[in-house]
């Protein structure tokens, strides 16, 4: 489950990074880009819907210069399983961070924006956050408890 979720999130990031260069003038924010290219965003969301595992919902939100990818289990798991999944994500956070940072660098280059953040959230089925990280292209900014 973990590796497919990582692959999906990275594929979405690469789509966003590759598409941000489209257009006549650079956007002021990633959110501006999304508003100026609703078809592109719908295509990305459609790709998410097609690629998502049957037991996980993945949503993408964009606010200012932050892209948030939230994965939520459709069914809740017990706290021991949640801790194990959080530990697995934490063990792979640095690797995921390198990929996020590469995507951020690509977005920054394509859009000429100075600040871009990608936030990853993984929630239990009850909505309780199990793991999260925010990346700004250089280092981890946020770590869940």
pLDDT digits (tens, 9 = 90+) for 94-140: 888 887 888 888 778 777 888 999 898 999 999 999 999 999 887 64
State whether residue 85 is helix, strand or coil. Answer: helix
pLDDT of residue 129: 96
- Residue 67: strand pairing partners: 62, 118
What CA–CA distance (Å, rounded) separates 77 from 89?
16
> How many folded domains does the chain comprise?
1
Other Cβ atoms less than 10 A from the Cβ of 76: the count is 14
pTM of the shown model? 0.76
In this predicted structure, the answer to whether residue 81 has a pLDDT above a threshold of 60 is: yes
Structural domain span for residue 121: 2-143
DSSP code string of 46-73 = HHHHHHS-TTEEEEEEEETTEEEEEEEE
CA 129 to chain centre: 15
């Amino acid at each position: 489950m973990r590796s497919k979720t990582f692959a999906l999130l990275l594929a979405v990031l690469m789509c966003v990074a590759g598409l941000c260069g489209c257009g006549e003038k650079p956007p002021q924010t990633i959110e501006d880009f999304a508003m100026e290219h609703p078809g592109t965003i719908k295509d990305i969301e459609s790709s998410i819907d097609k690629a998502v595992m049957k037991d996980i919902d993945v949503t993408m939100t964009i606010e200012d210069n932050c892209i948030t990818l939230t994965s939520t289990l459709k069914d809740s798991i017990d706290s021991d399983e949640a801790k194990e999944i959080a530990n697995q994500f934490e063990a792979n956070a640095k690797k995921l961070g390198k990929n996020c940072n590469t995507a951020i660098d690509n977005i920054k280059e394509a859009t000429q924006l100075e600040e871009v953040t990608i936030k990853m959230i993984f929630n239990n089925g009850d909505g309780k956050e199990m793991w999260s990280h925010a990346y700004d292209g250089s280092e981890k900014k946020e770590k869940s408890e």
